[in-house]
């Protein structure tokens, strides 16, 4: 079985930055209210940038970082719940933008866990020897899915993309990935597909926007994530205290603080950048990893962990090269 390592990282966000104070101009909220409950200070919102635009930009940065040309990529997976089209896939659109030819390209929908799920697929296929270089992208334009009059959601979600290049390696650096789902919680975070009545079916979906039961999602995340991290470290010889950096899905600072407490790990080991970007769903982990890169040293042990709609969750244990 071949080894796998991360050989390149990249990110992209829309140009427009929207602060909490900006949002408070049109909805009953405040900077203090939002930051104290979420840890978010600002976010980037699309004024026309598409999911493909952001995904392709992040992917190009990751390719440049890896030193690879587009023709070296033989697998492209985009994790997203906000594609520009149902078909073609965002992955095919990105391949076209970057000049990637003859690669296997497809999208994957696992909401905020999407980057972890897509990474598991890519890493498994490289392990088997089917592919040499995989481009995995998390990309979202969530601003088009939220009700901007709903204080419970519009202050949280934002737009962006992050990308990683996984490469075949003599020495394996992706130690273990563990994902899971629980459909019993499928009603806790929802985003409907829009339907139009036709000659045979006059049903029309009246729910247009993302909806979330924040209280139940908090309970789920603070229970499932620390257990999943313990499980992904099982049989590796390492404990949470041995990990140098934890990069969790950037949904809520309180969730990360709770996970740190349950794992008995110093908060300082939990990387946070949600104050700048908000919750970018599948993009949040690769954006955070790209931001954290300058702090990483060869041999650093890192946990990446995502959680979200589905319900879905998953963790990766990697060693930085």
Q: Are residues 225 and 155 in the same domain?
A: no
Domain count, the chain: 2
Q: Which two tokens stand for residue 89?
A: 């896939």
The DSSP result for 227-266, as a single string, is HHHHHHHTTTT--GGG-SEEEE-SS-HHHHHHHHHHHT--
Catalytic residues: 112, 249, 279
| Boundary residue ending a domain (143, 172, 201) | 172
Q: Are residues 197 and 307 in the same domain?
A: yes
75-79 and 211-212 beta bridge pairing? unpaired
- Helix (H) or strand (E) run with residue 77 in it: strand 75-79
Res. 297 pLDDT band, cuts 50 70 90: very high
Contact yes or no for 222/255 (Cβ under 8 A):
yes
Q: Are residues 140 and 67 in the same domain?
A: yes
- Residue-number span of the structural domain to which 239 is assigned: 175-319
Q: Are residues 132 and 209 in the same domain?
A: no
- Residue matched to tokens 């991290």: 229
> Considering only 49-58, 190-199, 245-254, which range has the smallest mean pLDDT?
190-199
Q: Are residues 164 and 182 in the same domain?
A: no
Q: Are residues 217 and 122 in the same domain?
A: no
Q: In terms of Cα–Cα distance, which of 111, 157, 156 is closest to 138?
A: 111
Asked if the model's pLDDT at residue 39 lies above 80, the reply is yes
More confident residue, 27 or 205: 27
DSSP-derived letter for residue 157 is B
Q: Are residues 211 and 289 in the same domain?
A: yes
Q: Are residues 184 and 160 in the same domain?
A: no
Measured CA angle at 253 (ends 248, 254), to 5 deg: 110
Res. 203 pLDDT band, cuts 50 70 90: confident
- Residue matched to tokens 């592919």: 131
- Residue matched to tokens 């009953």: 28
Q: Which pLDDT does position 283 carry in this prediction? A: 98
- Helix (H) or strand (E) run with residue 221 in it: helix 214-233
Measured CA angle at 303 (ends 5, 272), to 5 deg: 115
Region 108-136 average pLDDT: 97
Q: Are residues 111 and 253 in the same domain?
A: no
Convert 33-69 to b/e letters by CB count within 10 Å (16 or more is b): ebbeebbbbbbbbbeebbbbbbbbbbbbbbbebbebe
Q: Are residues 198 and 296 in the same domain?
A: yes
CATH number at residue 260: 3.40.47.10
């Amino acid at each position: 079985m071949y080894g796998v390592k991360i050989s390149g990282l990249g990110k992209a966000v829309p140009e427009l930055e929207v602060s909490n104070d900006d949002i408070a101009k049109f909805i009953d909220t405040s900077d203090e209210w939002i930051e104290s409950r979420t840890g978010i200070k600002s976010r980037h919102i699309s004024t026309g940038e598409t999911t493909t635009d952001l995904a392709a930009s992040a992917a190009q940065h990751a390719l440049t970082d890896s030193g690879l040309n587009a023709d070296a990529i033989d697998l492209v997976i985009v994790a997203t719940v906000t594609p520009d089209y149902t078909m073609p896939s965002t992955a095919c659109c990105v391949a076209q933008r970057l000049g990637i030819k003859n690669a296997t390209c497809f999208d994957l929908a696992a909401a905020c866990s999407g980057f972890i799920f897509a990474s598991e697929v890519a890493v498994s296929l490289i392990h088997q020897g089917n592919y040499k270089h995989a481009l995995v992208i998390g990309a979202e334009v969530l601003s088009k899915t939220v009700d901007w009059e709903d204080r419970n959601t519009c202050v949280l979600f934002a737009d962006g993309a992050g990308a990683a290049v996984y490469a075949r390696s003599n020495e394996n650096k992706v130690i273990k990935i563990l994902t899971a789902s629980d459909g019993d919680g499928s009603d806790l975070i929802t985003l409907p597909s829009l339907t139009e009545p036709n000659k045979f079916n006059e049903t029309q979906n009246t729910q247009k926007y993302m909806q979330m039961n924040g209280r139940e999602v908090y309970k789920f995340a603070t229970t499932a994530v620390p257990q999943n991290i313990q499980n992904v470290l099982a049989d590796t010889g390492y404990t949470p205290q041995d990990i140098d950096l934890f990069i969790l899905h950037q949904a809520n600072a309180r969730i990360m603080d709770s996970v740190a407490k349950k794992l008995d790990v110093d908060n300082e080991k939990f990387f946070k950048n949600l104050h700048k970007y908000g919750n970018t769903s599948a993009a949040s982990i690769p954006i955070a990893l790209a931001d954290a890169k300058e702090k990483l040293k060869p041999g650093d042990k890192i946990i990446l962990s995502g959680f979200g709609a589905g319900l879905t969750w998953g963790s990766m244990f990697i060693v930085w090269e």
